[in-house]
């Protein structure tokens, strides 16, 4: 294990960690890391936590165990949170225009033979993405304010109403029972993070941090443009499918193409367009007229 990679554990943190230990642990006994559990931006399920929800979850997640793949088996327990707080990042905004906030936790793993593989996976960036398991009292429709779990308000998450995407606003948390290492979390920004302003020799300078931040913003911009293009392409594929008369209802087709990537969408559209050409041959508008005029000229008609 590379000891330089782990974060420095001070006396105050050890005190917090030892609340959960049966024996007195030292800095050499534990490996600690920081992790973003969730944030207040829209996730892949078109839902988001409010900042107030994050604040309540911060209290609930202290002491909660980390597992694998939301599988609550004893052998899957691998880490535990000993501190948790909400971080506000004023220079960043969510997709719906609010200040970006995230729930950041500090967790520890005991250093032993059985944990060395996980520690190496964390240091190498392979084990990174996480997802939270919690109970939410209310999922409020961003369009009309109705509780989407209790009232059928008619609005669908991810659909556009009046120019705005309908989202489920997650409020009133009642329990935070686990967090998991998984491959693809609903929250795009959830995962293990580095602490940039450490005092050891491995820290990143402010100049490097600024460059990384600018680069990240550019990547986020490109990702957003890619998402917008994919949304446009989905609509085009649905239109092509309807024109091709494939016998599938437009709503059903829209649902079917939702999970496809750009390459798959382009191939599907190309296939639909080919089918369209079978019953709607694409010819110039003047095609028949030109043939008629040519025929009349050959027959000696006045043109």
Q: Give the DSSP per-residue string, 81-95.
A: EEEEEEEEEEEEE-T
Contact in structure between 177 and 64 (CB atoms under 8 Å): yes
CA–CA dist 60, 173 (Å, integer): 9
CA–CA dist 139, 156 (Å, integer): 12
Above pLDDT 70, what percent of the chain? 83
pLDDT, tens digit, for every residue of 173-230? 999 999 999 887 778 887 776 543 333 333 444 555 566 667 777 777 787 888 888 8
- Name residue, tokens 């994050």: 54
- Kindly report the number of other CB atoms within 10 A of residue 61's CB atom: 24
Q: With 0-12 CB in 10 A as exposed, 13-18 as middle and 19+ as buried, what is 272?
A: buried
Non-local CB neighbours of 94 within 8 Å, separated by 6+ positions: 39, 40, 41, 42, 48, 100
pLDDT at 293: 45
Non-local CB neighbours of 118 within 8 Å, separated by 6+ positions: 78, 109, 127
pLDDT, tens digit, for every residue of 127-160? 888 999 999 999 999 999 999 988 789 899 999 9
Instruction: Read off the DSSP letter of residue 8.
Output: P
Q: Among 134, 145, 135, 152, which residue's Cα sits nearest to residue 168?
A: 145
Q: How many helices (H) and strands (E) does the chain have?
A: 7, 10
Contact in structure between 98 and 49 (CB atoms under 8 Å): no
Q: Is the dihedral of CA 203, 215, 264, 229 positive or negative?
A: positive
Confidence class for position 255, pLDDT limits 50, 70, 90: confident
- Kindly report the number of other CB atoms within 10 A of residue 74's CB atom: 7
Q: What are the C-alpha distances in Å from 55 to residues 51, 95, 97, 220?
A: 6, 20, 19, 26
CA–CA dist 20, 15 (Å, integer): 10
Contact in structure between 155 and 161 (CB atoms under 8 Å): yes
Between residues 8 and 121, the one the model is more confident about? 121
Tell me, yes or no, if the pTM score tops 0.75.
Answer: no
CA–CA dist 186, 118 (Å, integer): 22
């Amino acid at each position: 294990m590379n000891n330089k990679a782990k974060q420095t554990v001070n006396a105050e943190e050890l005190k917090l960690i030892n609340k959960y230990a049966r024996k007195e642990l030292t800095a050499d006994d534990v490996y600690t890391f920081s992790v973003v559990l969730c944030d207040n931006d829209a996730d892949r399920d078109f839902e988001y936590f409010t900042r107030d929800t994050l604040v309540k979850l911060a209290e609930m997640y202290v002491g909660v165990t980390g597992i694998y793949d939301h599988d609550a088996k004893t052998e899957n327990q691998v880490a535990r949170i000993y501190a948790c707080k909400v971080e506000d990042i004023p220079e960043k905004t969510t997709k719906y225009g609010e200040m970006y906030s995230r729930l950041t936790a500090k967790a520890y793993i005991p250093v032993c033979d059985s944990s060395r593989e996980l520690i190496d996976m964390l240091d190498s960036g392979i084990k990174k993405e996480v997802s939270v398991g919690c109970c939410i009292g209310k999922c409020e429709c961003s369009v009309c304010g109705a509780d989407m779990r209790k009232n059928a308000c008619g609005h669908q998450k991810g659909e556009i109403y009046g120019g705005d995407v309908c989202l489920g606003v997650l409020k009133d948390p009642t329990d935070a029972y686990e967090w998991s290492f998984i491959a693809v979390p609903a929250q795009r920004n959830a995962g293990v993070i580095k602490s940039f302003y450490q005092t050891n020799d491995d820290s990143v300078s402010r100049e490097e941090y600024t460059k990384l931040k600018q680069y990240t913003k550019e990547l986020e911009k490109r990702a957003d443009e890619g998402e917008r293009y994919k949304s446009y392409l989905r609509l085009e594929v649905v239109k092509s499918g309807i024109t091709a008369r494939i016998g599938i209802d437009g709503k059903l087709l829209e649902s079917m193409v939702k999970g496809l990537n750009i390459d798959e969408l382009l191939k599907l559209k190309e296939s639909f367009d080919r089918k369209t050409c079978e019953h709607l041959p694409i010819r110039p508008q003047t095609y028949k007229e030109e043939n008629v005029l040519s025929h009349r000229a050959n027959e000696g008609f006045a043109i």
